């Protein structure tokens, strides 16, 4: 078994680390100060992303992306995940289901997204449909050859800066017909209802949307009527791996900061790292990162080399569960090692502490990942998780 990164992979990792250091980290405090990323800086960073070739790393070159494998994406996302305030979002990765569009939809939505000219948001969650998207009340009622979309969506990340919305709705209110519609934000009947504040300070908002009889046609359906949940599943595999890679990056940066601090901070006449209480925390943090990183790399590599949609879905849940819970534990310890300085917003560890909390909630909470894993153990056997690649 050869676990060495190839030269291409090593170069990619180093380029991503340099991009994070030179372009993302220097702008982090702007997000804190403005409670969002100022639009001129956002545009500038998007241009830098394009120039560095980090746009649409998750799409094929045929569709205007960089065509990176899931493993290569994990290497990049790990480095970008070290940055706070979700500033990694400037390196836009258009939703993977957009590739399921027909040629005209790809020309109108996916390709401009890959070039950074359009921005999407994905609206699934509602007041009564969170972990269980089958409960969505948003409907697209068919009258003649048109659809009329009505409902409310919550927590729509990037909803303020997006110019189109991928809306998950039930055609004719029928739960057997979950369907994703591509809805331009300037269509009559689309409104932002409220822009709530959240725990993290983020480069964009997560508004609530109202749709009032928004007129749509067959040309606005992504994939097929009834195919909405399958599209969402594909999206979950990719985003769960992405979140996991971010979490490894976030935990690594926090640990690096805590480790450096422990090597210079003196109390009671000694470096604090000479207190075993501190050194043991650092040891536990290092081991947690090492084991989780091994898991993320293995699953991302396996999904790249031997694509198996169902297995990827089963494993992505385990990776996301482990990595998000690990990041919470590790960053909490990093903050403790930093003492009062770790509680200051100007310290990246404080920001990472707030940032990773949502990783245990969005794209399926930790409990939902356990539900998926439990059901996969029943269906496919325990070896799905405890066995080895063959
Ligand atoms: C900052 C932020 C950004 C988001 N961005 C988006 C977005 O862009 N688009 C979008 O559509 N959504 C988005 N979401 C919504 C997110 O996906 C949901 O919050 C998440 O799926 C959980 O749904 P819920 O909040 O309604 O919690 P609920 O589903 O009500 O869950 C409440 C609690 O019950 C637990 N629970 C629920 N079901 C089970 C079960 N079967 N077994 C055990 N425990 C269970 C949950 O784990 C949780 O602890 C975002 C959320 C946040 C906070």
CA 132–ligand 1 middle distance (angstroms): 8
Give the percent of the chain with pLDDT over 70: 100
Residue where a domain stops, chosen among 222, 246, 281: 222
Q: What is the pLDDT of residue 230?
A: 86
Q: Model confidence over 96-128: pLDDT tens digits?
A: 999 999 999 999 999 999 999 999 999 999 999
- Ligand 1 atom closest to the CA of 132, numbered from 1: 29
Number of domains the chain is built from? 3
Q: What is the pLDDT of residue 239?
A: 94
- What is the CB < 6 Å shell around ligand 1? 121-125, 130-131, 155-157, 198, 206, 358, 361-362, 365, 367-368, 371
Cα 149 to ligand 1 centre (Å): 23
Looking at ligand 1, which residue's alpha carbon is closest to its atom 14? 155
Q: Residues 102, 185: one domain? A: no
The pairing of strands 164-171 and 120-123 is parallel
Among residues of the chain, what percentage have pLDDT more than 90?
95
Residue 70's Cβ-count burial label (10 Å; 0-12, 13-18, 19+) is buried
Q: Are 242 and 201 in contact (CB under 8 A)?
A: no
Within the chain, how many helices (H) and strands (E) appear?
A: 12, 10
Regarding whether 255 and 382 lie in a shared domain, the answer is yes
pLDDT in tens, 258-295: 999 999 999 999 999 999 999 999 999 999 999 999 99
pLDDT tens-digit series, residues 290-323: 999 999 999 999 999 888 888 999 999 999 999 9
Domain containing 142 equals: 120-222
For residues 276 and 331, membership in a common domain is answered with yes
Residue at 294 is within a domain: yes
Are residues 306 and 261 part of one domain?
A: yes
**Mean residue pLDDT across the chain:** 96
CA distance 203 to 206: 10
User: For residue 131, is pLDDT > 90?
Assistant: yes
Within 8 A by CB and 6+ apart from 2, the residues are none
On whether residue 304 sits in a domain, the answer given is yes
Which tens digits make up the pLDDT trace of 324-348? 999 999 999 999 999 999 999 999 9
pLDDT interval class at 390 (50, 70, 90): low
From 222, 246, 278, give the residue that closes a domain.
222
Q: Are residues 294 and 359 in the same domain?
A: yes
Identify whether residues 153 and 247 lie together within a single domain: no
In the reported structure, the alpha carbon of residue 371 is separated from the centroid of ligand 1 by a whole-number distance in angstroms of: 14
Residue 295: give its domain's CATH number. Answer: 1.20.140.10
| Same domain membership, residue 14 and residue 163 | no
pLDDT range class, residue 389, cuts 50, 70, 90:
confident
């Amino acid at each position: 078994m050869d676990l060495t990164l190839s030269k291409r992979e090593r170069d990619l990792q180093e380029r991503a680390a340099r991009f994070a250091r030179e372009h993302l980290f220097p702008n982090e405090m702007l997000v804190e100060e403005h409670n969002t990323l100022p639009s001129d800086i956002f545009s500038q960073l998007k241009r830098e992303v394009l120039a560095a070739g980090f746009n649409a790393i998750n799409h094929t070159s045929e569709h205007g992306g960089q065509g990176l494998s899931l493993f290569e994406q994990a290497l990049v996302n790990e480095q970008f995940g070290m940055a706070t305030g979700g500033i990694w979002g400037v390196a836009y990765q258009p939703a993977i289901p957009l590739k399921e569009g027909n040629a005209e939809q790809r020309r109108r939505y996916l390709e401009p997204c890959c070039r950074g000219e359009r921005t999407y948001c994905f609206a699934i969650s509602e007041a009564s449909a969170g972990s269980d998207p089958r409960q969505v009340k948003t409907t697209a009622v068919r009258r003649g050859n048109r659809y009329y979309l009505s409902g409310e969506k919550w927590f729509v990340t990037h909803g303020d800066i997006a110019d189109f919305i991928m809306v998950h709705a039930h055609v004719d209110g029928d739960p057997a017909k979950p369907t994703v519609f591509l809805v331009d934000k300037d269509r009559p009947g689309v409104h932002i209802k409220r822009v709530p504040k959240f725990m993290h300070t983020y480069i964009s908002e997560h508004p609530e949307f109202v749709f009032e009889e928004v007129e749509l046609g067959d040309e606005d359906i992504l994939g097929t009527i009834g195919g909405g949940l399958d599209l969402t599943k594909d999206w979950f595999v990719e985003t769960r791996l992405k979140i996991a890679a971010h979490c490894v990056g976030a935990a690594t940066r926090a640990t690096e900061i805590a480790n450096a601090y422990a090597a210079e901070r003196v109390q009671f006449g000694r470096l604090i790292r000479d207190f075993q209480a501190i050194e043991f925390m650092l040891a536990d943090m290092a081991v947690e990162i090492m084991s989780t990183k091994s898991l993320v790399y293995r699953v991302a590599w396996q999904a790249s080399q031997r694509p198996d949609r169902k297995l990827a879905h089963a494993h992505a849940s385990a990776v996301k569960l482990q990595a998000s819970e690990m990041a919470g534990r590790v960053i909490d310890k990093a903050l403790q090692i930093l003492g009062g300085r770790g509680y200051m917003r100007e310290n990246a560890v404080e920001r990472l502490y707030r940032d990773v909390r949502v990783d245990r909630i969005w794209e399926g909470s930790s409990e939902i990942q356990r539900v998926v894993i439990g059901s996969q153990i029943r269906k496919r056997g325990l070896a799905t998780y405890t066995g080895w690649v063959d």
